[in-house]
Amino acid sequence: MEVLNDLKENYLHLAKNPHIEYEFEEDIKNYRVEIRMQIGQSNENFSFLRNVTEGLSIASRAIPLEKNSEVLLTNLEHRSAINCWYLRQISQPDLQLTIKICNIPTDATNEEIIRIISANISEQTRVIAIPHIDRYFGILFPVKKLCQIARELNITTVIDGAQSLGLTDIKFDDLGCDIYVSCLHKWFLSPMTIGTISIHSEIFSKLYRSFASSNRWNEERIENRQLGGQELGTRNVALEKSIGSLLDFHTRWHNEIQTLGNGLKPFLIDCLLSINKVKVIPVIDYLGKYGIITFYVEGINSKLIIKQLEKKYRILVGISNRKGFDMIRISLYFYNTRQDIQHFVKALEEIIWSMEHEGGL
């Protein structure tokens, strides 16, 4: 609550003192550095955005491409991670851009993922855009190795890290990717609409700029004409100022985040598998104790189950639409307990029984 209270106070303070935003900027500048350090980025090519969709859209427009270029994606991308490239394809028809989507099985090992993506690289491939952790099943991609392969072939890499910050260690410099887009409002637990974009120094000056800034064009350093911390003009500085409280929260709770949750994921999976007609999507788990578990119930619409979980039991879960039908997605984190899982499983069993015997609730 301290982060939300801080956000509220920032809004009130800004409303009473409109020009205080320039004082906020000094703190926000420091928060940029701290978040940049959180993701292991040594260079300063880093900006706050509104969300990952915005970052991926900027990246898809910024990368120079020649005619007949190919962009390689996977079937596990968020829709916006695919649509941003389709938008460029449609808006620049003379480019004759090809978008190739390769299929990654949910139970693929790291070696299999590397083999599948490598096999789909062609002489025309100029961009590989993949998730660090996919949003549907929580698969941790072997990003470092894939970026190494891409760099050797002079292929630009764009990594969707929406599910990464707070869930796994991000070491931008070590990964070797060209562009990494993430956000604070998922596993890092910030208020909504704080995204980030990180750009490798080698590609930074080659990118096309997507937005104009307020600085005088002729007086700007050339690198700032591409992508920089101020490029979006007026921003939600009250929200960005609350990052200070968020960082304080993570400092205080660091030990608990690292130590809580042991054994909960296998316990949840075992409980789900013990329920008749429940099918858990198999995933090779490289993440550890936290992450995403996805399942469905044979013969029952997942949306109806989700609605009843929220309406009757006040349990919030997500929905994943893949393989032609809806599935239920659980995000397990340090604040969850064994009792939470038992409550959820009991609720799920009651919903299934009711729908099978009474036609609903």
pLDDT tens across 25-67, in order?
888 889 999 999 999 999 989 989 999 999 999 999 999 999 9
Average pLDDT over residues 344-348: 96
Tell me the three state secondary structure of residue 294.
Answer: strand
166: its two tokens: 């707070």
Which range (187-196, 216-225, 258-267, 298-307) has the least confidence? 216-225
Residues 6+ apart with CB under 8 A from 222: 205
Whose tokens are 């990180």? That residue is 198
Which range (75-84, 130-139, 255-264) has the least confidence? 255-264
Tell me the three state secondary structure of residue 247.
Answer: helix
**pLDDT above 80: residue 229:** no
Cβ atoms of residues 329 and 292 within 8 Å: yes
Residues 6+ apart with CB under 8 A from 267: 338, 341
Tell me the three state secondary structure of residue 39.
Answer: coil
Task: Single out the residue of 274, 278, 230, 258 nearest to residue 333, CA to CA.
Answer: 258
**pLDDT above 60: residue 220:** no
For the stretch 201-208, contacts whose Cβ atoms lie closer than 8 Å and that sit 24 or more positions apart, written own/partner, are 201/43, 201/45, 202/178, 203/63, 203/156, 203/178, 203/179, 204/43, 204/45, 206/64, 207/62, 207/63, 207/64, 208/61, 208/62, 208/63, 208/64
Which range (111-125, 233-247, 252-266) has the least confidence? 252-266
**Per-residue model confidence as pLDDT tens digits over 167-204:** 888 999 999 999 999 999 999 999 999 999 999 999 98
pLDDT for res 167: 87
Amino acid at 22: Y
pLDDT band at residue 214, thresholds of 50, 70 and 90?
low
Task: Single out the residue of 247, 215, 138, 227 nearest to residue 181, CA to CA.
Answer: 227
**pLDDT above 90: residue 72:** yes
pLDDT for res 10: 87
Whose tokens are 């990118």? That residue is 207
pLDDT for res 213: 61
Share of the chain above pLDDT 90, in %: 66
